[in-house]
């Protein structure tokens, strides 16, 4: 019953002073959420006031990645009147549907089986009912692909900028291009491509390009328009530490800032 219609203004709609950056991908599993969570923390480390909306309602993972889940349990946000106070992790104010869902035994998180209108209202309520206060940057971890939330985000966040995450392999880059095109169709601006799971250098110096190469450049070229080039803003290598820290709920930009993947994410934060 929490999901009643919104009664407040969307502070991130038309004319917002907050930079809104939606992070999208063509398909799941390319590291979009991992990159978004770490990018949010890296931006906060630079002194910016950062919010993060987990808009990947069906596949939410932000609470876990930011260490907000304890033994698999996600604490519920505090409610003050009709405002929801977003939990803060590593100086990032964050909200996720995973904070509200309960299983029948009362434990969190449950699962979501919602269609478009509910998804739209969820995003709308995250924007209007969650008290983020003044933010420099609001990041959105979008669901992969070109579904309902992508279209809702276009309506609710007309000024949003979009970062497209892909792996270097054609199977990911081909669908990533479509996500970028949909974002543009709903009026958002594609500001760059992030290539994740790029080649890693092994301890013996050998270079392992598990997912091939070139996907980032391919997406950037396909999304570039006359007068507005889209660039690959970061190439984040495969990293065992990035995977392990994500599983442990420790953002690698804090726990292992010297790891090549963390350096690439810090450099991305500097370029935005
Ligand atoms: P998505 O949000 O695109 O579905 P996730 O962020 O959930 O993807 O990442 C999928 C899996 O890949 C996770 O287990 C994550 O730890 C792992 N992962 C992400 N980026 C990397 C990387 N650069 N190197 C190694 N593992 C990665």
Closest listed residue to residue 166, CA positions, set 198, 207, 210, 201: 198
pTM: 0.93
Q: Number of folded domains in the chain?
A: 1
Q: According to the annotation, is 29 in a ligand binding site?
A: yes
pLDDT in tens, 159-182: 899 999 999 998 889 999 999 998
Q: Name residues whose C-beta falls within 8 Å of residue 214's C-beta, 6 or more positions apart in sequence.
A: 168, 173
Q: How far is CA 201 from CA 134, 205, 232, 255, 271, in A?
A: 41, 6, 20, 20, 24
DSSP SS3 for 104 = coil
Span 199-225, average pLDDT: 94
Show the domain range for 195.
19-271
Residue 10 CA to ligand 1 centre (angstroms)? 31
Closest listed residue to residue 197, CA positions, set 174, 216, 180: 216
Residue 45 counted as domain residue: yes
Residue 129 CA to ligand 1 centre (angstroms)? 30
User: From CA 261, how far away is CA 169, in angstroms rounded?
Assistant: 18
Specify the CATH number for the domain of residue 100.
Answer: 3.40.50.300
Residue 224 counted as domain residue: yes
Which atom of ligand 1 lies closest to the CA of 240? Answer: 25
pLDDT in tens, 31-82: 999 999 999 999 999 999 999 999 988 888 999 999 998 877 888 899 888 8
Q: Residues 169, 217: contact at Cβ < 8 Å?
A: no
- Measured from CB, residues less than 6 Å from any atom of ligand 1 are 25, 28-34, 61, 196-197, 236, 238-239, 242-243, 246, 261
CB atoms within 10 A of CB 134: 9
Residue 67 counted as domain residue: yes
Q: Residues 35, 170: contact at Cβ < 8 Å?
A: no
The torsion of the CA quartet 197, 164, 156, 17, rounded to 10 degrees, works out to 100
Residue 62 counted as domain residue: yes
pLDDT in tens, 110-161: 666 666 677 888 899 999 999 999 999 999 999 998 778 888 898 899 889 9
Residue 41 CA to ligand 1 centre (angstroms)? 16
Structure tokens at 153: 């985000």
Residue 35 CA to ligand 1 centre (angstroms)? 8
Q: How far is CA 66 from CA 206, 238, 252, in A?
A: 32, 20, 10
Q: According to the annotation, is 205 in a ligand binding site?
A: no
Residue 118 counted as domain residue: yes
Residue 113 counted as domain residue: yes
User: From CA 129, how far away is CA 112, in angstroms rounded?
Assistant: 20
Q: According to the annotation, is 175 in a ligand binding site?
A: no
Span 248-262, average pLDDT: 97
Span 84-99, average pLDDT: 94
Residue 236 counted as domain residue: yes
Q: According to the annotation, is 27 in a ligand binding site?
A: yes
Structure tokens at 79: 């409610």
Residue 154 counted as domain residue: yes
pLDDT > 70: percent of the chain? 92
User: From CA 84, how far away is CA 95, in angstroms rounded?
Assistant: 9
């Amino acid at each position: 019953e929490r999901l009643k219609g919104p009664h407040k203004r969307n502070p991130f709609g038309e004319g917002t002073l907050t930079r809104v950056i939606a992070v999208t991908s063509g398909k799941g599993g390319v590291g979009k959420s991992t990159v978004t969570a770490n990018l949010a923390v890296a931006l906060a480390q630079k002194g910016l006031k950062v919010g993060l909306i987990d808009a990947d309602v069906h596949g939410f993972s932000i609470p876990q990645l930011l260490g907000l889940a304890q033994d698999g349990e996600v604490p519920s946000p505090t409610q003050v009147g009709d405002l929801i106070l977003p939990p803060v992790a590593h100086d990032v104010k964050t909200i996720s549907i995973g904070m509200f869902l309960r299983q029948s035994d009362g434990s969190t998180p449950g699962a979501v089986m919602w269609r478009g209108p509910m998804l739209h209202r969820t995003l709308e309520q995250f924007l209007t009912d969650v008290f983020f206060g003044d933010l420099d940057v609001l990041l959105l971890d979008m669901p992969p692909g070109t579904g309902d939330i992508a279209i809702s985000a276009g309506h609710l966040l007309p000024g949003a900028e979009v970062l497209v995450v892909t792996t270097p392999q054609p199977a990911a880059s081909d669908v990533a291009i479509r996500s970028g095109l949909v974002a543009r169709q709903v009026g958002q601006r594609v500001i760059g491509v992030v290539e994740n799971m790029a080649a890693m250098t092994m301890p013996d110096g050998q270079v392992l390009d598990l997912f091939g190469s070139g996907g980032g450049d391919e997406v950037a070229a396909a999304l570039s328009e006359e007068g507005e080039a889209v660039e690959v803003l970061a190439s984040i290598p495969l990293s065992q530490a990035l995977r392990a820290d994500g599983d442990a709920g420790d953002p690698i930009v804090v726990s292992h800032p010297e790891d090549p993947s963390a350096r690439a994410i810090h450099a991305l934060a500097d370029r935005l």
